Amino acid sequence: MISSLCNIIFKQGIFNYHVSDKVDSAINNPYSANTIEHLLYLKNWIDTVQWHLEDIIRNPAIDPAEALAIKRKIDRSNQERTDVVEYIDNYFLDKYKNVIPQVAASINTESPAWAIDRLSILALKIYHMEAEVNRADATDEHKDVCRKKLGVLLEQRSDLSKAIDELISDIEKGNKYMKAYRQMKMYNDPSLNPVLYQQQTSQAHEA
């Protein structure tokens, strides 16, 4: 089952990150390139680093220059995250390219990779909620609240894992078909972001 593989690799990636727990730590992907395992580990590593960047930037005492630098890192991370999701979808598109959809086949609301993206984020939520449940300096009330939230997150992971496996099974059988819609993020494209292309035009006129 693909969800079992995802959950194992995501847990592994999150654990490996927290050995150093530094956003600038180099990734040491243990899986061979051009494999789905490699992509899943990379995807979760990007998510894990960005999770901690989002924590850091919310520090009320952060230096504005540092905050801007982190915001730039988050922007790059978002683009990398989207790219890897598309690579994962490419893997499924290639794997099932010879499957002929049934006459009544339908398309899912999201592709397999975007569902897997949510599973990766859930793994992070579960890890950090477990940390809150076991926090030595937390009150019993805080731990109880977090324990209930953890229960919901674990149920979500179970449900999402089942849904992903069912989606892949339906694609294999031709009951569903998939398309990969490229995200075409506009704010990173100098030709589509008005702030960027207006600035370029202004600079050209000044030259």
Query: In 3D, which of 126, 122, 141 has the Cα closest to residue 47?
Result: 122
User: Predicted confidence band at 192 (pLDDT cuts at 50, 70, 90)?
Assistant: low
d(CA 47, CA 88): 15
Tell me what pLDDT residue 195 has.
67
**Which region among 1-5, 98-102, 189-193 has the lowest average model confidence (pLDDT)?**
189-193
**pLDDT tens-digit profile of 128-149?**
999 999 999 999 999 999 999 9
CB 153, CB 125: distance < 8 Å = yes
For the entire predicted model, the pTM comes to: 0.88
Tell me what pLDDT residue 198 has.
72
Tell me what pLDDT residue 110 has.
92
**Contact residues for 124 (Cβ-Cβ < 8 A; gap 6+):** 14, 47, 48, 51
| CA distance to 6, 44, 111, 127, 154, per residue, from 119 (Å) | 8, 9, 13, 12, 11
Which ranges in the chain belong to alpha helices (H)?
Answer: 2-20, 36-57, 64-95, 112-133, 140-173, 194-206
d(CA 192, CA 126): 37
Going from N- to C-terminal start, the domains of the chain cover: 2-185
